[in-house]
Amino acid sequence: MDSALIPEGVKRCSFGKFIFWLVIFGAVLLWGIVAMLLCWFKGLNQTNMNDAYGFALWIWADLAVIAVGGGAFFTGLLRYIFGKDELKNIINFAVLIGFICYSSALLILAIDIGQPLRGWFIFWHANVHSMLTEVAFCLSCYFAVLTIEYIPLILENRQIDRVPFFHNLSHNMHGVMAIFAATGAFLSFFHQGSLGGVAGVLFGRPFAFREGVFIWPWTFFLFTWSAAACGPCFTILITWITEKITKKKLVRKNVIMLLAKIAGWMLATYTIAKIIDTWYWATVTAPAAGHNFMDFYSNNPLYGIWILVLEIVICGVIPSIILITKTGRRYSFLLVGAVFLGALGACVNRWVMVLQVMAVPVLTFESWFMYFPSWQEIATTILPVAYGIMLIMISYRYLPIFPQEREIEEEKHASIFV
C-alpha cells in the first residue's frame, strides 16, 4: 500500500502490521499527552513534586535522555572531526536517536516549568551565570543542529528525493555537514557539561557540590565524559534491539565493534575519573561541610550504598572491562550486556545527581525526603519512549537510515543463490 515510499531494495513488514503497532504505541503516546495537558492546564499540582522536590522525575528523565542521546554528538565528532569513516554507517541512526532524545528533553522541560508560556524568558532574560541558562541555550542550539542533521535523511525518502529542490538541498547539506557536526559537538560538549554543572554548583547541597576549575565543577566534565561513553552504548543497544525486532542485520559488525571499543575506553576512563571524584568528594569535600560519607547512604532502603556500587562497579567497571577487551566484545551477549549496563550507569548517575540530592537532608533538624511520582509524571515520562519508538518505526520504514542494509540484504540473497 505504501510501497512507493519504502526505500528501494529493502523489505518491510506489511502495512497492516506497521499500523497496528503504530496504534498501540500511539495509545501510550495519547496517555502521555493527556497527562501533559493536565499539567499545562491545571498546573504542577498534578505531580507529586513538592517544595523539597523541586526537581524530580522529569529532571532525571531530561538528564538521562540527554546523556544516552549523547551518541549523536560523539559519533558525529568521531566521524566528521576524527575521520572515523566507518561510522557513517551508523551515524544516521545515532542522529535519529539523538533527535528523539533531545526533542523529548525539550518537551519534558516545557512541561516541567511552572509557567510554560514564559519559558522563553530563559533566553530573553538570560542569567549567564546559571548552568541552566547554558543548558537551555546549548540544548536548543544543538537540537537545531540535530534537526539539520535529520532533515537530509527525510529528504532522502524515495518520493521526496524526486523533487529536484529537495534532492539538491539534501546534497548540499551533506556537503557542509562537517561544519554543522563540529558546531554540534561544541554545543553538545557544553550542555552535557552544564547539565553536570547544574548539580555540581549547588554549594548548598553537600551531596551534589563538587569543586572544579574556573566556573565549572568536576561534574561538568564527568557528565560530558559519561555522555560520550554511554551515548554510543545506547546507540549500539538500540541498534541491536532494532535488529532483533526487524530480524535482520542492519549494521556490519566491524562498525559496531569500532564504536564499542571507543565507548569502552571512554567508559573505562570515565569510571576511573568518577572513582577519583567520588573518593575526593567523600574524603575532602563532604567532610568539610560536616558530612560523613555514610550520612548520604543511610536511613532508608532506597538510597543505600548499593546505589553507588551499582553506578560505579556494576555499570562502570564491569562494562568497561568487557568493552575494552576483544574477547568481551566478541561475544554478542557480553557486548549487549555491557552496552546496556553502560547506558544504565548514566541513568543511575543522573538519578543520583538529581533525586538523591533532593532526598538528603541538609538542615540537621530535617529528615530524609522521599518521593514517588504521580501517574501524570510517569505518563509524561513514558510519552517520549512511545514517541521515540514510533519515530524510529516510521523513519526505519520510509528512510534509508541504515546505509548498509541493502548491501547486507543483497549479499544474503546472493549467498542463498550461490
Partner 1 sequence: MKVCRRSFLSLIIGGAAGVALSPLPLKLTDDSSIWTQMWPWTPVPEDGEVSHVDSICTLCPGGCGITVRKVATMSGDRAIKIEGMKGHPVNDGGICVLGLSGLQLLYSPTRVKTPLKRAGARGEGRWEEISWDEAIAEVVKKLEGLREKGKSHTVACISGTDSGTTAHLLGRFLTVYGSPNFIRIPSIQDSYELTMRLMQGVQASAGFDVENADFVLSFGSGLIEGWGSPVRMIKANSTWKDRGKVVQIEPRLSNTAAKSDKWIAINPGTETVLALSIAHVIIQKSLYSADFVNNYSSGFKEFKQIVLDEFSPDDVSEITGVSASTIESLAKSFAGASKPLAVCGRGQGETPGSLNEFMAVHALNALVGNINKTGGVWAVPDPDYIKWPEVEMDRTAANGMRKARIDGAGSKRYPDVRYLLDRLPDAINSGKEYPVEALFVAGANPVYTIPDSNAVKEAFNRVPFVVSFSSYMDETAANADLILPNHVFLERYEDVPAPVGLQKPIIGLSKPVVKPQFNTKHVGDAILLMAKSFGGMIADAFPWDSYEACLKETLGNKWDSLINDGFWFDSNFRPADWKSAFNTPSGKFEFVNKGLAELVKIEGDEQSYPLILIPYDSMRLASGFIGNPPFAIKTVEDTVLKGNDIVVEVNPRSARGFREGDHGILSTPKGSVKVRVHHFDGIMPGLVALPRGLGHTAYDEYLAGKGVNFNELIGPVEDPVSGLNAAWGIRAKLTRA
Partner 2 sequence: MKEQHKHTKAKKYGMVIDLDKCTGCGACMAACMAENNVSFKKDESDKLLSITWMRVYKLTNGKKFPEADICYLPRPCMHCEGDHGHAPCVSVCPATATDYSHETGIVSQIYTRCFGCRYCMAACPYHARYFNWWDPVWPDGMEKYLSPNVSPRMRGVVEKCSFCFHRYQLAMDKAYIEGRRELEEDEYQTSCTQACPADAIIFGDLNNPGHAVTQIAKPDHKHGGRPMNPNAFRLLERLGTNPKVYYLSSRRWVRRAGDNYIKDERG
Partner 3 sequence: MLPFSFEWLWDISHMVFMGGLWYALTILGLGMTYCIIKAIVDTAKGKGSHSH
- Check binding of 156 to partner 3 (CB under 8 A): no
Q: 72 to each of 33, 231, 301, how far by Cα in Å?
A: 26, 7, 36
Among 22, 31, 33, 119, binds partner 2 (CB under 8 A): 119
**Cβ closer to partner 1: 148 or 408?**
148
- Check binding of 77 to partner 3 (CB under 8 A): no
Q: Minimum distance between the CB of residue 94 and partner 1, rounded to whole angstroms?
A: 29
- Check binding of 214 to partner 3 (CB under 8 A): no
- Check binding of 145 to partner 2 (CB under 8 A): no
Choose among partner 1, partner 2, partner 3, none what residue 167 binds, the Cβ cut-off being 5 to 8 Å by kind. partner 3
- Check binding of 304 to partner 2 (CB under 8 A): no
Q: Minimum distance between the CB of residue 108 and partner 2, rounded to whole angstroms?
A: 12
- Check binding of 137 to partner 3 (CB under 8 A): yes
- Check binding of 309 to partner 3 (CB under 8 A): no
Binding part of the chain for partner 2, among 21-29, 39-47, 231-239, 308-316 by CB under 8 A, reads: 39-47
Q: Minimum distance between the CB of residue 201 and partner 3, rounded to whole angstroms?
A: 14
**Cβ closer to partner 3: 182 or 245?**
182
Among 36, 72, 95, 145, binds partner 3 (CB under 8 A): 145
Given the rule CB under 8 A, which residues bind partner 1? 115, 117-118, 120-121
Q: From residue 192 to residue 211, what is the string marking binding to partner 2 with x (rule CB under 8 A)?
A: ------x--xxxxxx-----
* Cβ contacts of 311 within 8 Å, gap of 6 or more: 345, 348, 349, 352
Q: Minimum distance between the CB of residue 172 and partner 2, rounded to whole angstroms?
A: 36
Choose among partner 1, partner 2, partner 3, none what residue 416 binds, the Cβ cut-off being 5 to 8 Å by kind. none
Q: Minimum distance between the CB of residue 164 and partner 1, rounded to whole angstroms?
A: 13
Choose among partner 1, partner 2, partner 3, none what residue 214 binds, the Cβ cut-off being 5 to 8 Å by kind. none
Q: From residue 338 to residue 367, what is the string marking binding to partner 2 with x (rule CB under 8 A)?
A: -------------------xx---xxxxx-
Closest-CA residue to 260 (of 321, 309, 315, 311): 321
- Check binding of 247 to partner 3 (CB under 8 A): no
Closest-CA residue to 105 (of 140, 153, 156, 144): 140
Binding part of the chain for partner 2, among 46-54, 81-89, 144-152, 171-179 by CB under 8 A, reads: 46-54
Q: Minimum distance between the CB of residue 17 and partner 2, rounded to whole angstroms?
A: 43
Residues that bind partner 3 (CB under 8 A): 123-129, 133-134, 137, 141, 144-145, 148, 162, 164-169, 171-173, 175-176, 179-180, 183, 186-187, 190
